Structure 1
Amino acid sequence: MPAALTGQDLDSAPIQTGNSAQVDFDALVRLEALKGRKRMRGIMSLLSITADVTSILTGFFLASLAYLGTLDNDHASNMVAICIPLFLIFSLNNNAHNTRKVSNLMSGIASATGALVLAAGCLLLIAFFMKIGAEFSRGVFFLGVFFSVLAIITMRTIFRAVFRERLEEGVYAILCIYDGVPMSQTAGPGAIEARAMGLHPDLASAIAVNRLGTLAKGMDRVVIHCVPQARQAWAMALKTLDVRCEIVVPELDEFAALSISQRSGHTSLLLNSGRLAWNHQMMKRGFDLTISLAALPFLLPFFALVGLAIKLDSRGPMFFRQERIGLGNRPFMIWKFRSMRTELCDANGDRSTSRTDDRITRVGRFLRRTSIDELPQILNVITGDMSLVGPRPHALGSRAENALFWDIDQRYWQRHVVKPGLTGLAQIRGFRGATEQKMDLTKRLQSDLEYVSHWSLASDIRILLSTAMVVFHKNAF
């Protein structure tokens, strides 16, 4: 910022934060350091691309060495010459190298390996149509894909560990300007007071516009927290910037809107998206049946072993069935492995399970901690009562702070426009376990409504893959 631009140079404006004599130069230094996050993000993405390409090169040449006993041949070279450009096309298209995918290990691995599989499939088609079987070793190809996947998983894991501290600090440069409202206690390093920086939204003042633009340069986003009467002026000022801008409107929190849209020239809040379209229902059901029926033969022997352990540990049946709320707010009977003593089982779910619950058996405690007790619900998926992914089904008597869920938030019923699921968006975000406080329900409910609003088959696949990261959770008991 030019030294001449001080608070004394600002013209008066209908809405302003005051003409401070000095600019908070400590905040300027802090913001300049914050802008380095954007550069670091670019470096991370480039390193991620380099690591994945190196993994593919390593995988195919290692396959050549293992299968043909030599690195000096054209098989691996020809394959990587075609496969790597195709991989980059697919991986850049599905954002496999952005910082979110680097931070979320499972999501990043899934995106990168998915791009590799697509590239390998295209390579097979090219080899078939061009009839280049002599130059195409099937052994090197399949081993190369396998070794490349292992290398990508290894490199991504190491990459995540190396940059873990930086990722936890945050990689986005967000400038939060507080104008006439108290600064949040959880405000990040990009939070500043408009008065301290001599800022006010005055489009009639070239100096005011220049100062705002200078502070916003290099930021990923500018967020304004201001009094209601200043919002219109700030909205006009933000439209002059070349970064993404937002204004916080706390009055809208009570509506818990899923998104904002336009209707007849007016701004509207999307509050409920209704049931999935018929073609989406067919896609979701087909996906559920394909995965469930394919997994069932492998699960049945495991079910027998778990059932034997339950029987040896305590008297009673192998399974526990309980009425839960399902699609359209209609009840259904859910299947679970019995984890409690038969005489103490809670049919209505009136009592939430606690960490020291005396009703849980020894085997049951292990089953609940590892989420194995939920596996029989795959039978509910096959019969159509449940889906693999969706809001978790609750018992009719479920409570938080001794209040029924629907008494806490009447939007609760809206989550049942889709079938309940074995896992869901709330679960992979860590919202699981007992609902001891009302906020426990609110967080899950908002995630469930968000899932319904933005459903896609890709989101179901992503949630399923991410579930592996939260099977063992501190709140699972």
Structure 2
Amino acid sequence: MNAPVQIESDVKQSVRALAPSLERRRLRLYLTMMAADIACILSAFFVAGGLYLGQWPEANAMIAAQLLVAIYATLGIYQAAYSIKALTEVKFAINRAMLALLVSSALLIFITFYTKSTNSFSRVIFTGALLLTACGIVALRLGLIWAVGKLWNGVVSNVMVIEAGGPEVELDNAIVLNAAKHGLVPDPDDPHSLDRLGRVFLNMDRVVVSCPDKDRPIWAFAMRSAGVKGELVSKVLTELRPMAISVDEKCVSLVVASGPLGLRARAFKRVFDVSVAGFALLLLWPVMLLAAIAIKLEDGGPILFVQRRLGRGNRFFNMLKLRSMTETGSDADGVVSASRDDQRITRIGRFLRRTSIDELPQLWNVVRGEMAVVGPRPHALGSQAGEKLFWEVDSAYWSRHALKPGLTGLAQVRGWRGATDMESDLKGRLDADLEYIANWTILRDFAILFGTVRVLIHDRAF
């Protein structure tokens, strides 16, 4: 048995050094599995066509193989054929791969039937190639899982145990942190403590907290708002609203939090973000260049305004904007909201804010992975609704950070933009953000993106 990984140095540096390497290793394994499956399909049709008709390669067989590859790869992702469980459990890995192969074959037959292309494909070649493919994929899965067990001791996920005064927990290959020693405090009234927790949870697949009964609700809140799969070592407690019970050989715990999106959804969303942001940067750089020149000519000050905002997992990041206020009037913490006759706003700045052009540099935040194209808008640390800080209005506020913040979002499309003069202004935004997180789909991202066009210019942009 491997002893738990003990972290004695500064938690920010240690955790970030250990966790990402395993995540990158796992991603390489997924890509290797997919590439091997594709190679197996192409090779099987190459061999089957050659053996049956004596042509190397046989043209129609290779066309069928290419069509099958496209369908199989897509279904394989949807069927979790490339997942953590598929790297460690032989039965699951083989079942998911065979299901994807069976369904993709049926779909290909259906497509060729309706396009009247079945006469072009040999049933003998197709059947033989499928049998060869199945044998090859099974062999690949057995070999890969053996290699993972042999070379990495079967460890393919990041597990963290936080000791916060509860019963002792021993999990193999876990990163173990003592909450008191490393200053880990789930304080909903302190954004800096939540930022620290968010950085600790970064890249974690599973977080297990052992704490006293009285502290369980606050730790459950912290893990939910950070968007991680969180567990509490505890007996079943109704007030924690457990999502499931996690049973380990040495630990029984309640699952009280789970990230909103799985691997497949995160991958689709990231491809969407990079594609849209990259295209927008290529299309709109002349607009940003002209705006930058205008800002510089007006008062000679800096072009960009960089402000620390709250992002995914309650972690801080530096958000970029074109400067729209005087250099001395810029508010780093966002304590004072802009108003209609705000004297801090420059002449060019008023136009930039009115047309939302000042937000365009955030496309670079999207490319860097700090933001998404669609998501809850990031807020400054000192933002207030009425006389209260945002998180003082509603504790559910922190849960909106379970996803990356966005350039636009459901709240903006529904008209919740501009100053938050009253608490109800935040409530409307918060309800829309939480609805978006709970019901995310890639199609909804497209709909919100197109819906944003009609609210780019609005009368609440001061």
The TM-score range, normalised by the shorter chain, is: 0.3 to 0.5
Q: What's the TM-score, normalizing by structure 2?
A: 0.47
